[in-house]
């Protein structure tokens, strides 16, 4: 188990930006896009076999030729104002049957990532992910912030379209490696900030990306690193996803006879909201014209629909 | 402080043994039944285990037919045949460390020269036909065996198995290994496939000169054949489906479903 560095560039107090798969792959798409746009160079990797079950085997003529594991790679980019290190993990380190990274292995992974950060003089770590929110998919996603220190939350407030996690109300939990990495960073006296792009709560189980949230995170990263980047290329993809969402929920509407009558009414209200809602300003904070009870029941059924039909719908896309 | 993952029971005296590996969950119960059979017939000694805590979730212990199912990873040895058998549940976490732990015992304690894994793979074949055994090896030394024992080299690109992962780890430690993948008729997947068991055990018998008595196994094959033959006589559609499979003709989804349902009903009656 270990870290393999391809090179040892001299970097000026770089920040580290990390991304993994998660809800809508919002974090990893944001971080990987930024890496691509900035043409960051390969820096190293974490040897994966101690953390992951392999994802593909190649056998030819009865001989084992290759075993592929999810990659966990570091990249770097020198910028005029602030150098950056990227860490992109193709999978979170998980136990079989678990949805998010947790426990000893996840902590080990976090410590390895931070060893690289410290080796190159990083003082600040950014993680990225998704925040399910009572928003509609036609609305602009904001970036929800949690950090290892209060002053960091205040500092992030100066960037537009950012809200602290406390403004969402209730208690909040960061699941997966994004939260664990920040916890471990705090223990190692590093600054840590998690940027979470908002995704409508009814799309949390969808197998599609959610470009609006990725774009919101990217714009914030661009502001932080004082690097003007045009991310408008996300808009076309966001529009395609919007069409896919409407198509998917229209199909659910058609199959409503399978829904128990007692929740059909709530479901109808919900579908009408998803399909026909027009954004208004200021943005409402409630999840459309449905009750919390309806919401719970509807989300249960939507998850079932996503499991059954989401992947087929994606193929069409 | 590093935790000790082994529990040793007995000292065993081995020279340069081969090791047979079987995972508990397997199509046709092939691997667990082959390892059980060899353990019984060869009167092996259980000498070591890997402790489950680091490798298996114990959040809930499953109960099957009122019996607790607790994960097991056990080593057995038969000194006079210079053979080690490892039978285990598939770990649910820390796979790499688990496989290295298996190989630590195999390489440093037992000093194995090679390993074999046994695996069943559901296939669209009839239980009456000659079974294919496909192989994947991490070393060229096994090439001769393919010809001598009528084994076939596998071509595959896709999801890896735990056996594939083990071969890969073994290769990194310079331990030659080969996985044997035997066809299991898809309708026997959850049941004992005695014919498949016999095919693999015959291979080990010849390879390691074990002197196995196959009488019990042959009786079980005859009994299972007889029961399925009776079903064929009673149900012409099942007979037609099995005959098609015997001729290498594929079945429709509906035909497959009916065959699985009927065979399941039949074999569940008496276990």
Give A169→chain B minimum CA distance, Å. 32
**φ/ψ of residue A291, rounded to 5:** -80, 165
Q: What is the pLDDT of residue A74?
A: 98
Residue entry with tokens 């994966």: A48
Residue A309's pLDDT band (cuts 50, 70, 90): low
| Secondary structure of residue B147 in the 3-state scheme | helix
pLDDT digits (tens, 9 = 90+) for B189-227: 999 999 999 999 999 999 999 999 999 999 999 999 999
Can you tell me the distance from the alpha carbon of B271 to that of B133, in angstroms, rounded to the nearest whole number? 26
Percent of chain A with pLDDT over 90: 49
pLDDT at A169 over 80: no
Q: Give the tens place of pLDDT for each residue, A95-146.
A: 666 667 777 888 999 999 999 999 999 999 999 999 888 888 888 899 999 9
Whether residue A92 is predicted with pLDDT greater than 90 in this model: the reply is: no
Residue A296 is predicted with a pLDDT of 67
Distance from CA of B153 to the nearest CA of A (A): 4
Mean pLDDT of the A285-307 span: 64
pLDDT tops 80 at residue A168: no
Query: Which of A97-111, A171-185, A189-203, A207-221 has the lowest average pLDDT?
Result: A97-111
Angle between helices A261-276 and A292-305 (to 10 degrees): 80
B136 with A59: Cβ contact below 8 A: yes
Using CA coordinates, name the residue in chain A closest to B180: A62
Q: Do A62 and B152 touch (CB under 8 A)?
A: yes
Look at strands A72-77 and A143-147 and give their pairing: unpaired
Cα A114 → chain centroid: 20
Contacts of A51 in chain B (CB under 8 A): 96
Region of A309 please: left (phi>0), alpha (psi -120 to 50) or beta: alpha
- To the nearest whole Å, the CA of A74 is away from the closest chain B CA by 22
Contacts of B152 in chain A (CB under 8 A): 62
Lowest mean pLDDT: which of A35-39, A47-51, A177-181, B206-210?
A177-181
**β-strand pairing of B18-23 with B114-123:** parallel
Of the candidate ranges A177-186, B61-70, B166-175, the one whose mean pLDDT is the lowest: B61-70
Residue B270, pLDDT score: 61
Of A173-177, B56-60, B197-201, give the lowest mean pLDDT range: B56-60
Helix (H, G, I), strand (E, B) or coil at A134: coil
**Topology classification of domain B6-213:** Rossmann fold (3.40.50)
Q: Where are the domains of chain A?
A: 3-232, 235-316
**Total beta-carbon pairs less than 8 A apart between chain A and chain B:** 72
**CB A53 to CB B165 under 8 A?**
yes
pLDDT at B64: 75
> Nearest chain B Cα to A48, which residue?
B96
Cβ-defined contact of A105 to B135 (cutoff 8 Å): no
Placement of tokens 């549940």 in the chain: B89
Q: Is B152 on the interface with A (CB under 8 A)?
A: yes
Count Cβ atoms within 10 A of the Cβ of residue A145 and give its class: 0-12 exposed, 13-18 middle, 19 or more buried: buried
Mean per-residue pLDDT over chain A, rounded? 85
> B49 pLDDT band (50/70/90 cuts)?
very high
**Of residues B94, B136, B169, nearest to A62 (C-beta):** B136
Q: By a Cβ cutoff of 8 Å, what residues of chain A touch chain B?
A: 49-51, 53-64, 67, 95-97, 105
Across the interface, whether the CB atoms of B138 and A55 are under 8 A apart is answered: no
pLDDT for res B57: 80
Cis peptide before A151 (omega within 30 of 0): no
Q: Which of A47, A50, A51, A53 to mutate to test the interface with B (most CBs of B within 10 A)?
A: A53
3-state SS assignment for residue A90: coil
**Closest approach of A254 to chain B, Cα-based (Å):** 28
Does residue A284 carry a pLDDT above 70? no
Contact list, B171 vs chain A (CB under 8 Å): 64
Tens digits of residue pLDDT in B86-135: 999 999 889 999 999 999 999 999 999 999 999 999 999 999 998 999 99
Partners of residue A63 in chain B, C-beta under 8 Å? 136-138, 140, 153
Q: Which residue of A has its CA nearest to B91?
A: A96
CB A220 within 8 A of CB A159: yes
Residue % of chain B over a pLDDT of 90: 85
Q: Chain B closest CA to A102's CA: distance in Å?
A: 12
Check B57 against A95: CB less than 8 A apart. Answer: yes
Strands (E), chain B: 6-8, 18-23, 45-50, 63-64, 67-68, 73-78, 83-88, 114-123, 133-137, 152-153, 156-158, 177-185
Report pTM.
Answer: 0.84
What local confidence, expressed as pLDDT, does residue A286 receive?
56
Least confident segment among A98-112, A262-276, B7-21? A262-276
pLDDT at residue number A91: 86
**Which pLDDT value is given to residue B217?**
95
Q: Do A57 and B159 touch (CB under 8 A)?
A: yes
**Contact call for A55 and B146, based on CB within 8 A:** no
Q: In terms of residues, how long is chain B?
A: 271
CA–CA distance, A273 with A261 (Å, rounded to integer): 19
pLDDT at residue B14 tops 60: yes
Contact with chain A for residue B150, Cβ under 8 A? no
Query: Does the beta-carbon distance from B154 to A50 stay under 8 Å?
Result: no
Main-chain dihedrals φ then ψ at residue A271, nearest 5 degrees? -65, -35
Nearest to A161 by CA among A90, A208, A219, A91: A219
Under the banding of pLDDT at 50, 70 and 90, the label for residue A311 is very low
Residues A78-87, mean pLDDT to the nearest whole number: 92
- Residues in A closer than 8 angstroms to B135, CB to CB, are 62
pLDDT at A152: 94
* Structural tokens at position B192: 């004992």
Q: Under an 8 A CB cutoff, do B96 and A95 touch?
A: no
Task: Provide the CB-side half-sphere exposure for B216 (13 A, CA).
Answer: 8
B96 touches chain A (CB under 8 A): yes
Residue B228 reports pLDDT greater than 80: yes
- Would you state the pLDDT for residue B107? 95
* Residues ≥6 apart with Cβ < 8 Å to B84: B14, B17, B18, B19, B20, B75, B76, B77, B106, B110, B112
Does the domain formed by A3-232 have CATH 1.10.10.10?
A: no
């Amino acid at each position: 188990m270990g870290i393999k560095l391809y090179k040892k560039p001299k970097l000026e107090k770089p920040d580290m930006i990390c991304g993994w798969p998660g809800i809508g792959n919002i974090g990893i798409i944001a971080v990987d896009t930024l890496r691509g746009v900035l043409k960051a160079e390969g820096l190293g990797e974490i040897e994966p076999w101690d953390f992951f079950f392999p994802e593909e085997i190649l056998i030819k003529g009865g001989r084992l030729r290759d075993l592929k594991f999810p990659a966990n790679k570091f990249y770097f980019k020198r910028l005029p104002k602030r150098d950056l290190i990227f860490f992109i993990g193709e999978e979170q380190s998980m136990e079989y049957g678990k949805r998010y990274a947790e426990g000893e292995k996840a902590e080990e992974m976090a410590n390895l990532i931070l060893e690289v950060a410290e080796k190159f003089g990083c003082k600040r770590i950014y993680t990225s992910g998704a925040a399910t929110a009572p928003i509609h998919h036609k609305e602009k996603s904001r970036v929800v912030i949690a950090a290892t220190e209060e002053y960091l939350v205040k500092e992030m407030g100066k960037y537009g379209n950012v809200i602290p996690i406390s403004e969402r109300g209730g208690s909040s939990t960061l699941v997966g490696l994004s939260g664990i990495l920040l916890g471990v960073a705090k223990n190692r006296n590093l600054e840590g900030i998690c940027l979470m792009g908002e995704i409508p709560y009814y799309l949390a189980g969808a197998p599609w990306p959610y470009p609006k949230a990725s774009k919101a995170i990217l714009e914030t990263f661009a502001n932080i690193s004082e690097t003007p980047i045009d991310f408008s290329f996300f808009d076309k993809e966001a529009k395609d996803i919007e069409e896919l969402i409407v198509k998917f929920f229209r199909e659910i509407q058609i199959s409503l006879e399978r829904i128990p009558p007692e929740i059909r009414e709530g479901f109808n209200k919900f579908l009408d909201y998803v399909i026909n809602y027009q954004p208004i300003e200021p943005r409402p904070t409630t999840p459309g014209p449905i009750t919390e009870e309806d919401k719970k029941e509807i989300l249960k059924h939507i998850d079932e629909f996503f499991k059954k039909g989401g992947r087929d719908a994606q193929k069409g896309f | 402080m590093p935790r000790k993952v082994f529990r040793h029971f007995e000292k065993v005296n081995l020279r340069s043994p081969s090791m047979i590996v079987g995972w508990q969950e397997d199509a046709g119960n092939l691997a667990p039944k082959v390892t059980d059979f060899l353990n019984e017939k060869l009167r092996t000694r259980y000498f070591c285990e890997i402790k489950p805590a680091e490798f298996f979730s114990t959040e809930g212990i499953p109960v099957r037919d009122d019996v607790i199912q607790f994960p097991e990873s056990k080593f057995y040895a038969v000194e006079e045949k210079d053979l080690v058998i490892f039978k285990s549940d598939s770990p649910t976490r820390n796979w790499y460390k688990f496989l290295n732990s298996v190989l630590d015992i195999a390489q440093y304690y037992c000093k194995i020269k090679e390993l074999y894994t046994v695996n069943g793979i559901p296939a669209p074949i009839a239980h009456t036909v000659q079974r294919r055994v496909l192989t994947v090896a991490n070393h060229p030394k096994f090439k001769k065996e393919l010809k001598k024992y009528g084994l076939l080299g596998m071509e595959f690109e896709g999801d890896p198995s735990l056996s594939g992962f083990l071969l890969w780890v073994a290769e990194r430690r310079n331990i030659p290994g080969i996985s044997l993948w035997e066809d299991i008729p898809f309708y026997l997947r959850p049941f004992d496939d005695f014919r498949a068991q016999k095919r693999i055990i015959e291979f080990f018998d010849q390879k390691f000169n074990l002197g196995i008595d196959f009488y019990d196994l042959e009786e079980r094959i005859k009994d299972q054949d007889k029961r399925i033959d009776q079903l064929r006589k009673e149900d012409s559609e099942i007979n037609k489906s099995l005959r098609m499979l015997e001729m290498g003709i594929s079945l429709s989804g509906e035909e497959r479903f009916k065959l699985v349902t009927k065979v399941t009903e039949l074999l569940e009656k008496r276990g």
